[in-house]
């Protein structure tokens, strides 16, 4: 007989760890912003060092699990049984490329209780679960649980870091960006980024659980060095793109056109795009994409700043917005939400300067906004 213990039926669970939750509380309070430069990154993020990473040493390649503050909360499941069993989790909602419902860790038996954890799940989604005997002779009752609608939705893949689903974003008018379509993160390779090397377990998560379809490397310095994805069986693309103030220089216009067209094609989802740390180049591109989709600036700044949880790439505020604020906010009409103004200015830039068509922009929005 199999007796389920935790979680209880129909509960809502959080996918945020303590550090993610505290980071967002401090972000909303404005503690991570210092536009006048009066504080260093170490001063802004001293709480991270004192509370979470005081014993940090080494890098992600030599010790990828010692520090990964971007890891989501894995939910613990417990049960009693008189026979070896395993956890099974199901989800009715459909997402691009049919990802697995969750990354389930191996079953552990301790003091008469079986347990397993599951993570890398989608937000605001209903799941069901049950426990099944390894030999198939028994099945437990079926229980349901719901994942909370919280920002950010992070993904853990051992050997890399800073992976987030842009589907965590909420637009200014209360809609959501679709989950499971576009992920941003850090490098997967050791050749160009010495901090990261995707492990076999991380390969499984990105390839078989999340089911990334296209690996889009936006680094110039990888063009002559990398020719395939570190994720087995995934298509690899060089979609080079500048970051920060260089995002708006002429040599980047053709690159940006190609990137937007690639992101607008739903046949390419799920896409994983990255630079080295997933900080400035990746952060600037993600910020601009969010502006184009009508996501409030405060949320995009928080998304940019979350890179600080990788320790080696601490950021506060975004150079993309801080140095080009007028580019987005100029020409605001009376009574118009600033997000609408920013959307109009960003699409005008794409069409008039980069040569992106109106159809491509409309397609991007219709594909990515629920």
pLDDT at residue number 329: 84
pLDDT at residue number 41: 82
In angstroms and rounded to an integer, the radius of gyration of the C-alpha atoms of the chain is 21
The phi and psi torsions of 97 (rounded to 5 degrees) equal: 70, 10
- Sequence ranges of the domains in the chain: 2-14+71-147, 63-68+151-368
Encode pLDDT of 220-252 as tens digits.
989 989 999 999 999 999 999 998 888 999 999
Encode pLDDT of 325-370 as tens digits.
778 888 899 999 999 999 999 999 999 999 999 999 999 999 999 9
Q: Decide if pLDDT at 22 tops 70.
A: yes
> Quick check: 273 and 285 in contact, CB under 8 A?
yes
Q: Decide if pLDDT at 54 tops 80.
A: no
Q: Which CATH number is 2-14+71-147's, of 3.40.1550.10, 2.60.40.1220, 2.20.28.120, 3.40.190.10?
A: 2.60.40.1220
Query: pLDDT averaged over the chain?
Result: 91
Q: Which CATH number is 63-68+151-368's, of 3.60.40.10, 3.40.50.10090, 3.90.190.10, 3.40.718.10?
A: 3.90.190.10
Arithmetic mean of pLDDT, 27-48: 84
pLDDT at residue number 348: 96
SS3 138: coil
SS3 24: helix
- Torsion angle of the four alpha carbons 333, 335, 340, 342, in this order, in degrees rounded to the nearest 10: 50
Q: What CA–CA distance (Å, rounded) separates 204 from 220?
A: 27
């Amino acid at each position: 007989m199999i007796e389920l213990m935790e979680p209880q039926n129909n509960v809502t669970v959080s996918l945020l760890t303590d550090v993610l939750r505290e980071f967002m509380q401090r972000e909303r309070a404005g503690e991570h912003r210092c536009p006048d430069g009066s504080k260093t990154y170490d001063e802004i993020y001293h709480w991270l060092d004192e509370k979470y990473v005081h014993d940090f040493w080494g890098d992600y390649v030599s010790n990828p699990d010692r520090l990964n503050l971007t890891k989501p909360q894995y939910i613990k499941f417990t049960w009693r049984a008189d026979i070896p069993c395993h956890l099974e989790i199901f989800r009715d909602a459909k997402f691009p490329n049919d990802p697995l419902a969750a990354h389930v860790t191996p079953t552990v038996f301790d003091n008469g209780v079986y347990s397993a954890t599951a993570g890398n799940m989608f937000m605001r989604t209903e799941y069901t679960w049950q426990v099944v005997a390894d030999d198939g002779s028994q099945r437990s009752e079926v229980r349901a649980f719901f994942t909370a609608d919280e920002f950010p939705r992070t993904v853990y893949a051992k050997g890399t870091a800073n992976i987030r689903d842009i589907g965590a974003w909420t637009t200014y008018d209360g809609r959501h960006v679709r989950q499971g379509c576009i992920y941003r993160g850090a490098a997967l390779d050791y050749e160009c980024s010495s901090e990261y090397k995707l492990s076999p377990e991380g390969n499984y998560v990105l390839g078989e659980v999340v089911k990334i379809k296209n690996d889009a490397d936006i680094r110039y310095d990888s063009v002559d060095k990398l020719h395939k994805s570190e994720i087995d069986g995934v298509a690899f693309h060089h979609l080079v793109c500048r970051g920060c103030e260089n995002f708006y220089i002429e040599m980047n216009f053709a690159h940006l056109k190609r990137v937007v067209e690639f992101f607008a094609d739903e046949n390419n989802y799920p896409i994983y795009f990255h630079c080295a740390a997933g900080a400035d180049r990746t952060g600037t591109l993600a910020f601009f994409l969010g502006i184009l989709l009508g996501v409030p600036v405060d949320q995009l700044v928080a998304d940019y700043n979350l890179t600080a949880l990788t320790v080696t790439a601490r950021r506060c505020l975004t150079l993309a917005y801080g140095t080009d604020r007028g580019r987005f906010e100029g020409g605001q009409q009376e009574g118009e939400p600033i997000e609408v103004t920013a959307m109009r200015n960003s699409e005008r830039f794409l069409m008039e300067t980069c040569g992106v068509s109106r159809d491509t922009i409309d397609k991007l929005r219709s594909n990515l906004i629920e």
